[in-house]
Amino acid sequence: MRATREALDSMVERFPLLDARLEDRVLRLQPESLQPFGSFKVRAALTAVDWAVQSGATRIVTASAGNFAQGLTFAARRAGLPVDVHVPDSAAAGKIAALRGLEARVISHPFDEWWTIMCNRDTGDNGATFVHPVAEHSVLLGNATIGLDIQTAWSEVEIVIVPFGGGGLCVGVAAALEALGSRAEVVTSEVAGSAALSAALAAGHPVEIQRRPSFVDGIGSTRVLDEMWPLISSCITRSIVVSVDEAAAAVRELALRHKLVVEGAGATAFAAACRPEFAGRRVAAVLSGSNIDAPTLAGILSG
């Protein structure tokens, strides 16, 4: 893990934790929103491409809502590999434009079709190496470096809150903290209408839910990935579900008070960290990304 972090140093910044300046708790922000391509996923993407190149990959294909694919495309193109990206039709327009600017071939699908690709890894292209944005060992290792950075900066942290999309971030961070001897609890954040993990935790296994799209487009699904459930259930016992309005209020506060542009997914971690149940605790919130469309951000700020 430490070697992986050192390998990322040329691209991935070691930002200090930012004090949220709240009176009733110590809340510090891990600003992954400031990383290249505006997302924590650059860590996993760079690591995944390095592993793929070492295994002899000549072409890469992935399924992503946008953030992972941007880092993956950059790293793959730098290695001379073409990239196909399968995206849901709900992906933010800015993320799609960024992918095309990086010379990825973008294929859009209705959300349910895209989620099927996420589940079975089948794009119909047998000549390319499929890099899963959540479940690859290389991806989990890249994500684990966030836990390393947080623990290195603040060994006294008690709670680490991370947005839940597919589970790769929470599993990676939890594994890192455990390996480093930390007793901090990893808690996930979700948005109402797409809270598949909360439903799975309540049922004791993944279940299908009805998904309601919102501006929080970087997280949420109709079901927890079956292949990730054993890992997730071994390290996560609670998930905080915030409303779409709470997520929007968090985006607004982060922008106006803390001068940080954060997309809806990352803002759910901040919103969750501000809940009364964490009063008196030492909490770190991972602001996972900043890729929010300008009209959406403007609408939220004008409130």
Q: What is the pLDDT of residues 141-183, one digit of tens each?
A: 999 999 999 999 999 999 999 999 999 999 999 999 999 999 9
In this structure, are 114 and 245 located in the same domain?
no
Query: Looking at 84, 100, 130, which one is the last position of a domain?
Result: 130
In this structure, are 50 and 35 located in the same domain?
no
If we measure between CA atoms, which residue out of 184, 216, 211, 214 comes closest to residue 198?
211
Residue 303 has pLDDT above 90, yes or no: no
| Rounded alpha-carbon distances, angstroms, from residue 59 to 47, 52, 77, 128, 238 | 16, 9, 10, 5, 38
Separation between Cα atoms, residue 251 and residue 243, nearest integer Å: 13
Which pLDDT tens digit goes with each residue over 38-66? 999 999 999 999 999 999 999 999 999 77
User: What sign results for the dihedral spanned by CA atoms 256, 260, 265, 269?
Assistant: negative
Query: Looking at 112, 130, 148, which one is the last position of a domain?
Result: 130
Q: What is the CATH number of the domain that holds 265?
A: 3.40.50.1100
User: What sign results for the dihedral spanned by CA atoms 281, 228, 219, 154?
Assistant: positive
Q: What's residue 162's pLDDT?
A: 99
Q: What is the mean pLDDT of the chain?
A: 96
CB 71 within 8 A of CB 12: no
In this structure, are 74 and 216 located in the same domain?
no
Query: Looking at 115, 130, 145, which one is the last position of a domain?
Result: 130
If we measure between CA atoms, which residue out of 99, 138, 135 comes closest to residue 120?
135
Instruction: Tell me the residue range of the domain where 63 lies.
Output: 42-130
In this structure, are 153 and 192 located in the same domain?
yes
For residue 151, the SS3 value is helix
In this structure, are 150 and 260 located in the same domain?
yes
Residue 126 pLDDT class (50, 70, 90 cuts): confident
CA 240-242-245 angle, to 5 degrees, is 170
Q: What's residue 166's pLDDT?
A: 95
| pTM to 2 decimal places | 0.94
In this structure, are 74 and 197 located in the same domain?
no
| Rounded alpha-carbon distances, angstroms, from residue 226 to 50, 209, 222, 237 | 26, 14, 12, 17
Give the least confident one: 29-33, 109-113, 194-198, 275-279.
109-113
Residue 67 has pLDDT above 90, yes or no: no
Per-residue pLDDT, averaged over 4-16, amounts to 95
- For 79, the enclosing helix (H) or strand (E) is none
Give the least confident one: 87-101, 199-213, 218-232.
87-101
In this structure, are 8 and 141 located in the same domain?
yes
CA 185-223-148 angle, to 5 degrees, is 30
Tokens of 179: 């390996």
In this structure, are 90 and 192 located in the same domain?
no
Nearest 10 degrees: CA dihedral of 287, 290, 295, 301?
40
Give the total number of structural domains in the chain: 2
If we measure between CA atoms, which residue out of 33, 26, 76, 292 comes closest to residue 184?
26
Residue 92 pLDDT class (50, 70, 90 cuts): confident
36: left (phi over 0), alpha (psi -120 to 50) or beta: beta
Q: What are the residues whose beta carbons fall under 8 Å from the beta carbon of 214, sequence distance 6 or more?
A: 191, 193, 194, 244, 247, 264
- Residue 165: CB atoms within 10 A of its CB come to 25
Q: Where are the alpha helices (DSSP H) in the chain?
A: 2-7, 41-54, 67-78, 93-101, 111-120, 137-153, 168-179, 196-203, 229-235, 244-256, 264-273, 294-302
Main-chain phi, psi angles of 70, to 5 degrees? -65, -50
